[in-house]
Chain A
Amino acid sequence: MAITTSFTSNPEAPPAGANRTAPSPVAAHVAPKRMRASGLLRSPRKGRKSILLTAVMALLMVYSLLPLFWLAVNSTKTQGALFSSFGLWFSGPFALWDNIATVFTYDDGLFARWLGNTLMYVVVGAGGSTLLATLAGYGLAKFDFPGRKATFAIILGAVAVPGTALAVPTFLLFSQLGLTNTPWAVIIPSLITPFGLYLMWSYAQESIPTELLEAARMDGAGEFRTFFTISLRLLSPGVVSVLLLEIVGTWNNYFLPLIMLSDPKWYPLTVGLNQWSEQANTAGGEAVFNLVITGSLLTIIPIIIAFLFLQRFWQSGLAAGSVKQ
């Protein structure tokens, strides 16, 4: 009897199961959650670790890490050693520091300039698009205004419009406006993320109780004040995950800057690295494979560090995007 009453707060749970897994009423109430979290209830065979399954996953991990390992190993080689040694182990003089120094001094230090450009595109583009998507997602989720449904439908439709399909016409439009070959040509298009807006919309619906906003209105708070003092705090996990998606998107952007920019001094890292790689094939061009490899390593290190440090945020953010539809 005691066991069943302890379950009144959760009538869906089968008492029989509680009976079997929990000896005392208190434990019956607490146990399912805790045991689930520790994985004890996940599989019928009570969480026995499987060596076979672990081995298969280890193979997948090797596949995922092998190219990164290859990159790290080969960024320590001179160009000569690249051609004469086995790819998956160190060989020849340890040239990593030389390579890094050359990456930053080659072409009058253009790589540093590309790194700076990329950082600028990321800060302005990813920051701006996250801000716009947060405001608009919140507005669409929490306000009823004329044209709301139509606006939402149009934006959702745009999720399906592939960015690359619009790239060439955007280039033609921007060239008539005199914007091509300027940073604006990269920044302006990256300000819009229909998918980010969709994520913010679903997150705002989920995490901000309408009653709370109504209470703030009763107290006479303006809508923007409410947004910045109350809602933004509740939205912050969603904001961080959209920001991370946008940072990765902008940091990795290639197609748009490729067509918009012709002057290497505005290139981001991605376009610049590919230009160094193509150099080997152009007449009279110098092959700089060691610089491309070391430059690639330097390009991915900051973003990998960002991901390792911000794990907690993007993992919860991914959940928000996958569950809500």
Chain B
Amino acid sequence: MQWASKNAQAAYPGRIRIHPDGQDMEPNWLFAKRPVSEVRPGDHAWLAYSGPEERDRVIGTFVAGALRSEEKVVYVTDEPAERLPGLGPRTRLDLCALTERRQLRVISHEHACLDARGRFDPDRMLRVWEREVAEAFDQGFRAVRLTTDHSWLLEAHGAAADLHQMLGCEHQVGDAVSPSTMAMAICQVDRHACAPDRLAALRDTHEVLVEVDPEFDDGVLRITRTFEPHGLRIEGELDAARHGVFAQELAQVSRPGRRVHLDLSWLGFIDLGGLHLLAEHAAERTTAEALVLDNLQTDVKNVIEMVGWHRLPGLARGRDRAPGTEGVF
């Protein structure tokens, strides 16, 4: 099945993830991790969210971004439109008008993916999505953004959920979306809804891992919110020209009684002023609110070890991520 594809190009092949040490950090290195605003036609993306905050920020951006431009949204859910992420009153979108001109399609499970006996019917969902995409093409929309949350399937049936059926469904969605120049999809799952191995198996049917848009990105430093654990991911190089924005973001995520984790797996450089800044921030916090440095890279770790951890009071050494868990944990 191919949807509204004007040519057979494979859209956006995954970036190869090579750890800056030169080693593959993840065995599944073909994933492209993409901020939600950079999801584009042909992407079959995966979001294993940690909670409502993360889900709402990703899906809210995905949905509202489409509706503010000439793109269509197809959301399969039993929630009413006004309660969907990105569509609350604060977004000031005219949901009635959007629904009327079929730019916003909120379709219930019953009408999208259940058979006559109320069981999950992947073929039906594919047909519905295909129909919606074709219609969008005729209506002149530039693109179609599809999304649904699969958690109910996993939660309703627990360990008995038919993983093979879901994997088959995901493969079909992937086959349909990937060559498309119009359609893009985000499959959502509550990462607590099933066991990690099943989650990983589902994730592996997607080429793109979607995440929140970065808080800051100037091509040298990128700062992205993380939700589980709570904190920030710092990528690139942190130096004096960027201390201000970093301190600001750090203050944003610093909440009473809560540890802040900094994921440094992609931080290639931190200047001594940056270490000073971290120590200064940590000094104002209690042990329960410590600043935890996770996934330290060799280069940065060497500098810290040379200086000595004891010269950075309040900074705690965190864990190193187990390989293969990206997009799952």
A binds B: no
